[in-house]
Structure 1
Amino acid sequence: MSEHRSAAARPATAGPWVIDTRDLGRRPGTSRTYRRTVPAPAGLGLVDVIAVPEGADVELDLLVEAVVEGVLVSGTASAATRGECSRCLDPLTDRVTAELTELYAYPESATEATTDEDEVSRIVDDLIDLEPAVRDAVVLALPQVPLCSPDCLGLCPECGGRRADLGPDHGHETIDPRWAALRERFGEASQ
């Protein structure tokens, strides 16, 4: 689990990532939908590969339900991404949609009492902080090897040129090291 889910972590009393559960109540089965656009926090993605730019819009479409042990949050988080192709290093943009299902345990509930701090998120002062759960879901939804296209040819290992730009006849002459001495002795005419 993420280090972001500590019981000691107190959510801010207000902010776009925080939901006040007092609006929902504690009666199991009570639910409420939330549609919000919130700014992306720093470091939302895979460092130096692909990420949601800091401050970019993250669209949240969530159902928040009161259950016996706490509040269940489910839905999606969607945002634009920026990164580079893992084969040719060209810049790329895309969109990620992450599915989210997270239980936030009530204080003094059986779930809170029987689980470790990092296993289940907690409700603190009737507030839940969505950012850690959304961060985890988005990072898992991002491609581990982003590509500009599925058939990207990448870079030439000899010259570093982009293979798509070099053409099908591109190649580099390689000589077997065992024959290199003969080539040096007789020059180019030995071929």
Structure 2
Amino acid sequence: MSVKPFVIDVRSVPRRAGSMVEVDRTVVTPDRIGAEMIGIPADSDVHLDLRLESVTEGVLVSGTVSGSTEGQCGRCLEALDDSVSVYLTELFAYPDSETDKTSDDEDVERIVDEEIDLEQTIIDAIATELPLSPVCAPDCAGLCQICGVRLADAEPDHGHEVIDPRWAKLADKLVDPEPDGSEGGRA
């Protein structure tokens, strides 16, 4: 049997419109949640602070989901540690309610066997909150395009003399005069 940390039993929520139950718990996510370069790692704590409210057509879930993120800077590839917090609002329709009968499967979440599964809702909310290309600092200079050194760690005069390949043959033809007046090779 697989662990489903984001499944919540809703039997404790009375089916009277306006009834509410609060859920405040920390669960461990079995899989990584997030974008390619940053996310909540697998086997990490995710805190759920939710309100489950009974409405005519189902259970309205609202509240925050938060967790610590790990990743790497999109410019210099340094490790990043941060956190993410998202606010959820999602209706889970009762079986055989008008919402259940008149909505496509993709349009509304449903209560199945008196349980709601928040996993996809949480994955979607966190993925849209996290940056596609996170940075360690807004002014991160990234990596040197020639040698790959992190520019924040490089000397202030770091640079490379690069000759345009279209002019490289001419470089051999150009000579700098030696201090004694004779012609020598390019320095």
Q: TM-score, normalised by structure 2?
A: 0.88
- In structure 2, what is the equivalent of residue 30 of structure 1? 19
Note if 1:40 corresponds to 2:19: no
Deviation at 1:169, TM superposition (A): 1.3
Structure 1 pair 104–176 and aligned structure 2 pair: CA distance change class (3 A): same
**Bigger Rg over Cα:** 2
CA distance in 2, matches of 1:186, 1:16: 71
- Bigger Cα displacement from structure 2, 50-59 vs 138-147: 138-147
Which amino acid in structure 1 is aligned with residue 138 of structure 2? P
Task: From 83, 87, 106, give the equivalent of 1:99.
Answer: 87
Which amino acid in structure 2 is aligned with residue 38 of structure 1? V
User: Are the counterparts in 1 of residues 23 and 50 from structure 2 also a CA contact under 8 Å?
Assistant: yes
- In structure 1, what is the equivalent of residue 168 of structure 2? 180
SS of the equivalent of 1:158 reads coil
Task: From 133, 141, 159, give the equivalent of 2:147.
Answer: 159
Matches within 5 A, 1:141-160: 141-160=129-148
CA distance in 2, matches of 1:54, 1:122: 26
Note if 1:168 corresponds to 2:130: no
Q: Which has the higher contact order (CA 8 A, sep 6+)?
A: 1
CA distance in 2, matches of 1:166, 1:64: 53
Note if 1:17 corresponds to 2:6: yes
Structure 2 unaligned residues grouped into runs of 5+: 177-184
- In structure 2, what is the equivalent of residue 4 of structure 1? none
Q: TM-score, normalised by structure 1?
A: 0.86
Deviation at 1:128, TM superposition (A): 0.8
Structure 1 runs of 4+ off > 6 angstroms? none
Cα-Cα RMSD: 1.9
CA distance in 2, matches of 1:187, 1:87: 39
- Could you say which structure has the higher helix fraction? 1
Q: Alignment length, in residue pairs?
A: 178
Which amino acid in structure 2 is aligned with residue 80 of structure 1? S
1:115-172 superposed Cα distances (whole Å, 9 cap, x missing partner): 1111111001111112221121111111211111111110011111110111331111
CA distance in 2, matches of 1:133, 1:87: 30
User: Are the counterparts in 1 of residues 76 and 141 from structure 2 also a CA contact under 8 Å?
Assistant: yes
- In structure 1, what is the equivalent of residue 61 of structure 2? 73
Deviation at 1:106, TM superposition (A): 0.6
